[in-house]
Amino acid sequence: MHTAAPVPGSAGTPSPDWPARTATLLEEVRARSPLVQCITNTVVQNVTANVLLALGASAAMVDVTTEAGPFARVADALLVNTGTPHPEPRAASVEAATAAVEARTPWVLDPVAVGSLPVRTALAHDLLALRPTVLRGNASEVLALLGAADGGRGVDSTAATDEARTAALRASDGRLVGAVAVSGPVDLLVAPGTGVVRVANGTPLLTRITGGGCALGAVIAAFAAVTPDDPGAAAVAGTVVHTVAAELAARDAGGPGTFQPLLLDRLASLTPDDVVRVARVTTESAPSPGTEPAATTAGVRP
């Protein structure tokens, strides 16, 4: 029923070696320790800060009005997550995103549970209008947010990653957003210049803890800080680092409880070699509307 949109910017561009590039960017994040401002839901504030600190970045939860905007001008990146949209952080989100755009601070929008819930949905649309550097969500959230902007299908459809692919391609082509990260069993990253990239790492345990996806938004923001002009690279590298660390942590975990501290340990200890060895990244090489994408694989299964 839906047709695949053309992949912007992919014609003639050789597929970058994403695992190697991710490894390089990881070292940059650690060397520069970007300060990531987080306006995120109260459920995951703690794990979000801890993920950033484990990664080697810095975190600041500056989420009140009159502070949020000025801080977004000096922060290295901003994360806005709509999970618990209380009045104060709601106003702070818009203030911060507006300031981020003016100051060219890269920022990530994570529209948690957007769709039928009215407060966060209105907020997410207001934020989308400010053109986030990266939009991150699961397929349902991405479709709900971009589908409406696109005049397309709503959240009540069974959202699949491939449907979100189409919406993401249109949104990033039309520059609604710099890049789109669709999280799922296989993560889908879409951006002009990057094309469509799939990351097949991770673990089902990421769905058995709260904040697995929310923390990914923060990781992508940290990577956006070191590659602000290439949102697609930030989306891919952040996703690879987060899901590779999670996959390695899961090997030693006894369940969702012990998985969480082990994930933080892995984020802190992850080596460039780990990334290159474990990452499973594919890039659509010759996309055209309506055809099955061909794929090249970078990275070797462990």
Binding test (CB under 8 A) with its own copies, winner from 62, 237, 241, 275: 62
> Any contact of residue 124 with its own copies (CB under 8 A)?
no
Of residues 85-114, those binding its own copies (CB under 8 A)? 85-88, 113
Which region among 13-21, 45-53, 124-132, 275-283 touches its own copies (by CB under 8 A)? 45-53
Binding test (CB under 8 A) with its own copies, winner from 154, 174, 185, 255: 255
Q: Which residues face 283 on adjacent strands?
A: 197, 296
| Packing angle, helices 256-269 and 45-55, rounded to 10 | 30
Closest distance to its own copies from the beta carbon of 7 (Å): 34
Closest distance to its own copies from the beta carbon of 61 (Å): 5
Between CA 146 and CA 124 the distance in angstroms is 10
Binding test (CB under 8 A) with its own copies, winner from 27, 67, 126, 150: 67
Closest distance to its own copies from the beta carbon of 41 (Å): 7
Contacts (Cβ under 8 Å, ≥6 apart) of 214: 40, 41, 43, 44, 47, 48, 81, 83, 110, 112
Binding test (CB under 8 A) with its own copies, winner from 12, 14, 118, 151: 118
Binding test (CB under 8 A) with its own copies, winner from 168, 266, 287, 298: 266
Binding test (CB under 8 A) with its own copies, winner from 29, 47, 96, 182: 47
Between CA 181 and CA 294 the distance in angstroms is 20
Alpha-carbon 40 to chain mean position: 14
Closest distance to its own copies from the beta carbon of 166 (Å): 27
> Any contact of residue 33 with its own copies (CB under 8 A)?
no
Which region among 150-158, 159-167, 255-263, 290-298 touches its own copies (by CB under 8 A)? 255-263
Is-contact 109 129, C-beta < 8 A?
Answer: no
Between CA 217 and CA 143 the distance in angstroms is 17
Radius of gyration of the chain (CA): 17
- The pair phi, psi for residue 156, each rounded to 5°, is -80, -10
Between CA 92 and CA 30 the distance in angstroms is 28
Q: Which residues form the interface with its own copies (CB under 8 A)?
A: 41-47, 49-50, 53-54, 59-64, 66-67, 70-71, 83-88, 113, 116-120, 207-211, 253-269
